[in-house]
Amino acid sequence: MDEKDRIKKLLAAWNPLEVPAELAETEYADYVDIIISNMRSNDELQTCLTKILVEQMGLTISVPDGVYDIERICNELIKNESRTPAHR
């Protein structure tokens, strides 16, 4: 599985918009490149995901649950990123 597919699968599993499971992977495909370009640090990735959620998806991030979700998915993206060759 290449890096973009791995990220699509992680985003689909997270599914912040709660779209039907069969649509989730394609729903988040447009965000993969911007996420990859912001994976240099956990802080940078958290900022990127927060902007995507709020500015592009129109979601409100609750405290502490929403913040925890962003931290969790960032950790998962970065943790797994170090195991696979970069496709940047």
Mean confidence (pLDDT) of the chain? 90
User: 58 pLDDT exceeds 50?
Assistant: yes
User: What is the band of 76 on the pLDDT scale with cuts at 50, 70, 90?
Assistant: very high
Residue 88: per-residue pLDDT = 41
| CA atoms of 63 and 77, how far apart (whole Å) | 21
Comparing CA positions, the residue from 82, 80, 50 lying closest to residue 66 is 50
Q: What is the pTM of this model?
A: 0.84
Judged against a pLDDT cut of 60, whether residue 87 lies above it is answered with no
The total number of residues shown for the chain amounts to 88
How confident is the model at residue 32, as a pLDDT? 97
**Plot region of 64 (φ>0 → left; ψ -120 to 50 → alpha; else → beta):** alpha
